């Protein structure tokens, strides 16, 4: 196990991402941060706080559970997924949605998330913010805001630990 990012670095990356997002949207846009369960949800909360500090106060936020949209539900031997609630309390039509997740790899999760979003409504724009990009994409999906691209081999696992759920804060490669 090797540490890729420590707590300080994670916060710096989030700050940079917040800055980029802030610069791209005007205060008249309806913007919402939607985190993908479960760590995307926490990152979305943090970005929300950072953006509010910058003065983007009209932010909505929500949580997306993509379990029912996964493409491996029918695979034998896959870990049994736990269904949890999607919590998006606002009407996403005409919204600028920023989808947030901790790690991107094959792109399959994001494909599922986009489908889940489309079943809820028709957003004006969907952007993707990712803390760590592991590469090895299998779908034509690319993040708009990337914290850091990392160089690992395909079979190495990248894990993100966050204080809110894990009692520690770091990104490691296993």
Partner 1 sequence: MKKKSSSKDFVWRRKHLLGLKGMSADELIHLFNTAEGFKEISQRSIKKAPALRGKVVGNLFFEDSTRTRTSFALAVSRLSADIVEFTAKASSLSKGETLRDTARNLEAMGIDMVVVRHKAGGAANLLSQCIDACVINAGDGYHEHPTQGLLDIFTIRELRQDIKGLKVAIVGDIAHSRVARSNIWALHTLGAEVFLVGPPTLMPSAVSQLPVTVCHDFDSIIGQMDVLNMLRVQFERIGSPVIPSLLEYSRLFALTEKRMEKAKSDVIVMHPGPMNRGLEIEGTVADGPNSTVLRQVSNGLAVRMAVLFLVNQASKLPADERIDS
Query: Can you give the binding site for partner 1, defined by CB under 8 A?
Result: 65, 67-69, 73-78, 80-87, 115-116, 118-121
SS3 2: strand
Nearer to partner 1, 20 or 124 (CB): 124
Q: Least CB distance from residue 79 to partner 1, whole Å?
A: 8
DSSP-derived letter for residue 44 is H
DSSP-derived letter for residue 108 is H
What is the C-alpha to C-alpha distance for residues 121 and 94, in angstroms, rounded to an integer?
A: 9
Nearer to partner 1, 81 or 135 (CB): 81
State both tokens at 41.
């949800």
Q: Least CB distance from residue 62 to partner 1, whole Å?
A: 11
Nearer to partner 1, 12 or 115 (CB): 115
Q: Least CB distance from residue 89 to partner 1, whole Å?
A: 10
| Torsion, CA 31, CA 35, CA 41, CA 42, rounded to 10 | -60
């Amino acid at each position: 196990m090797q540490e890729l990012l420590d707590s300080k670095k994670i916060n710096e990356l989030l700050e940079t991402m917040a800055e980029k997002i802030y610069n791209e949207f005007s205060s008249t846009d309806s913007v919402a941060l939607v985190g993908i369960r479960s760590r995307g949800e926490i990152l979305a909360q943090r970005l929300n706080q950072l953006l509010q500090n910058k003065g983007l106060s009209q932010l909505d936020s929500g949580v997306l559970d993509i379990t029912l949209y996964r493409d491996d539900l029918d695979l034998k031997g896959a870990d049994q997924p736990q269904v949890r609630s999607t919590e998006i309390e606002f009407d996403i039509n005409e919204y600028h949605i920023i989808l947030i997740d901790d790690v991107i790899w094959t792109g399959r999760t994001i494909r599922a998330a986009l489908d889940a979003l489309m079943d809820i409504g028709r957003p004006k724009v969907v952007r993707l913010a990712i803390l760590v990009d592991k590469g090895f994409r299998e779908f034509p999906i690319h993040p708009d805001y990337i914290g850091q691209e990392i160089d690992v081999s395909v079979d190495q696992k990248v894990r993100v630990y966050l204080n809110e759920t894990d009692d520690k804060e770091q990104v490691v490669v296993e």
